[in-house]
Amino acid sequence: MHHVSESMMPPDGGATGRMLGRLIGRVNRLVVQSLTIVIIAIVLLSLTVDVAVLTRIVTNFNGILAQLVEYQTATKKGMQ
């Protein structure tokens, strides 16, 4: 396991590698938290709401995600 993590690091292994690792860790944590919240919300909704409303919420959520991704790529292009 230790050897794998070393080979995944960039060859310089300096500040950039540490910053990348920290950033990836933070993003992963955010994704896990938001996924957990979404799953809990879906479970709670499925107990109270019928399937038609649930599918509508899920499709809306996917649309919001797509818009977020588009926005992020647009801002990255603008920064370059």
Ordered DSSP codes for 21-38: HHHHHHHHHHHHHHHHHH
**Confidence at 57, pLDDT banded by 50, 70, 90:** confident
Question: For the whole prediction, is pTM greater than 0.75?
Answer: no
What pLDDT shows up at residue 9? Answer: 52
Provide mean pLDDT across the span 32-58.
Answer: 80
Give yes or no for residue 33 having a pLDDT over 80: yes
What pLDDT shows up at residue 65? Answer: 81
Provide mean pLDDT across the span 32-39.
Answer: 89
